[in-house]
Amino acid sequence: MKKQIIWKALHYQMMEYCNVEITETDIRIDGSIVGFGDDTPFSVTYDIITDRNWEVTALEMAVERSGDCSWISIQRDPDGKWTQSGHARPEWYECTDIDISLTPFTNTLPIRRLDLPLHDPRELQVLYINVFDNEIKPVTQRYTRLAEDKYLYESVGKDFKAEITVDEDGLVLDYAGLFQRISS
């Protein structure tokens, strides 16, 4: 399967172009995000590799804002051990998924990996990457499947929840109030 997707942010002035390719051995995702935050242009590019079970094995991400550029390189081995730029990060070992703050794509990772039955909430540890704050930390999130194509996403410990509608491949169509797919 190969899919090209375009999302429009509803909260920021932002667009994302994303390619998803499922091969015989892995899943490869690359995305480009461009927009304005606080009247400052920014761009984010990312490459994610997962295994066939949608478990992240690698993330490479570059962020450019106000003329500054930062780079994130994260890997996860088959035993669940994370490294950042080659350095062990044991505080992340409980996490399976990643959540990049500016893309709805990373919600697809747990949605596909968990394949939840209806109305069965599942809490999980996720490696949250706050692009604007340049912060990476473990957080607890909860997903509940509300219908065949609809999930409730909750950030545990924070007062945030949103419904997410997905297509037949588990890719986000609508992330209530934040993102809307405009092309696929």
Mean pLDDT of 56-76: 95
Q: Is the pLDDT of residue 38 over 80?
A: no
Report how far residue 172's alpha carbon sits from residue 142's, in angstroms, rounded to the nearest whole number. Answer: 16
Two structure tokens written together for 92: 């992340």
Mean pLDDT of 38-53: 94
Instruction: Please tell me the pTM assigned to this model.
Output: 0.95
Confidence of residue 91 (pLDDT cuts 50, 70, 90): very high
* Residue pointed to by tokens 């890997």: 75
Instruction: Give SS3 for 102.
Output: coil
Report how far residue 172's alpha carbon sits from residue 111's, in angstroms, rounded to the nearest whole number. Answer: 10
* Element of type H or E holding 172: strand 172-175
Give which of 98, 99, 85 is closest to 56, Cα–Cα.
Answer: 98
